[in-house]
Amino acid sequence: ARKLEDAKEFAAKHGIEKAYSDYEDLAKDADIDVIYIGAINTVHLAMAKMYINAGKAVLCEKPLCMNVKETKELVELARSKKVFLMEAVWSRCLPAYQAVRDELAAGTIGDVKQVIATFGEVIDVPRMHKKDLGGGTILDLGIYAIQVAQMVFGGETPTVVASGHMGEDGVDESTSTTLIYKNGRTATLVTHSRVKLNNEAMIVGTKGTLTLPYPMWTPTELRTPTGSKHFPIPPGAKHAFNFNNSANMSYESKHVRDCLLGGKTESPLVSLDETLTMASIMEQIRKQIGVVYNQD
């Protein structure tokens, strides 16, 4: 933490052996194998570079970086150092998302032609609305909708058509995006920070529909043409969480561990090539709306 007192308090609450007063201390600790970065968007690049240069595996919250330029720099560094790097798109690690992949592979809903995904919540905190904190709905919420479409359509690079509204500080408060893929396939994505949307993801094929219900980013259910499949939250939490179904994050932790034990430097669920594609999509959306960051 930025204050040792805060770090010690957190460590004591959760039974953690060590506490650090400086982010650099983690890089210097030889006992640390992998580091999770959950700081604000604007510092992801600098922190991840520091840890990768120290030989530490990195799981970094989405968005991996502020723009395509930064994302390319970080990906190139990790690959050159042969150090594990993953963008923390935790949804991909969940049983419900694996069930989606299984249903698509089995052809349950035929040829998929449309994805519809929304993520909107009333979020009135500085990190969402301040440009110098890397705010905006696309970087914070939109990637959840984008990653669904990209998973369904195999990571293809789409044509991006977007519009929306910016707030007082020049970051997006709402976006409406169409991603146009080959062979008559389309994704319709909506984000918002001023109203609550239904926050579902629908995958529509020629033989039926798959639905990830609220909350689509961390669902416990998948609705199929033949019925619903349910995926209970992992048990055992000793403390209350701040957000919906956060115990599901344990699947992401296990996935990273499995990758490292298997000698991987990239996640097969969220490859660095796909991270680059999603960074490009996000950048195109916000620039079409008029959002420009200092990092650009």
| Pairing verdict, β 57-61 and 85-88 | parallel
pLDDT at residue 61 in the model: 98
Could you tell me which residues come within 8 angstroms of residue 184 by beta carbon, excluding any fewer than 6 positions away?
113
pLDDT at residue 212 in the model: 98
Classify each residue of 192-205 as buried b or exposed e, where b means 16 or more C-beta atoms within 10 Å of its C-beta: bbeeebebbbbbbb
Could you tell me which residues come within 8 angstroms of residue 206 by beta carbon, excluding any fewer than 6 positions away?
109, 110, 111, 113
| Pairing verdict, β 221-224 and 172-180 | unpaired
Convert the pLDDT of each residue in 69-91 to its tens digit. Answer: 999 999 999 999 999 999 999 99
- Which whole number is the average pLDDT over 189-216? 98
Nearest to 209 by CA among 72, 117, 71, 290: 117
Tell whether omega for the bond before 95 is within 30 degrees of 0, i.e. cis: no
| Pairing verdict, β 112-120 and 85-88 | unpaired
- Which whole number is the average pLDDT over 145-167? 98
pLDDT at residue 241 in the model: 82
Burial of 230 (0-12, 13-18, 19+ CB in 10 A): exposed
pLDDT at residue 237 in the model: 78
Q: Is 25 left (phi over 0), alpha (psi -120 to 50) or beta?
A: alpha
Distance (Å, whole) CA 100 – CA 103: 5
Could you tell me which residues come within 8 angstroms of residue 214 by beta carbon, excluding any fewer than 6 positions away?
198, 199, 200
**Number of residues assigned to the chain:** 296
Convert the pLDDT of each residue in 92-129 to its tens digit. Answer: 999 999 999 999 999 999 999 999 999 999 999 999 99
Does residue 1 register a pLDDT over 80? no
Distance (Å, whole) CA 182 – CA 56: 39
Does residue 291 register a pLDDT over 90? yes
Does residue 21 register a pLDDT over 90? no
Torsion angle, alpha carbons of 133, 134, 140, 143, to 10: -160
pLDDT at residue 74 in the model: 98
Spell out where 194-260 has E strands: 201-205, 208-212, 221-224, 227-230
pLDDT at residue 240 in the model: 81
Convert the pLDDT of each residue in 26-67 to its tens digit. Answer: 999 999 999 999 999 999 999 999 999 999 999 999 999 999
Tokens of 85: 């790097």
pLDDT band at 153 (very low <50, low <70, confident <90, very high): very high
SS3 label, residue 228? strand
- Which whole number is the average pLDDT over 209-222? 98
Does residue 269 register a pLDDT over 80? yes
- Which whole number is the average pLDDT over 171-175? 98
- What's the pTM value of the predicted model, to 2 decimals? 0.95
Does residue 194 register a pLDDT over 80? yes
pLDDT at residue 128 in the model: 97
Distance (Å, whole) CA 231 – CA 95: 7
Could you tell me which residues come within 8 angstroms of residue 4 by beta carbon, excluding any fewer than 6 positions away?
19, 20, 21
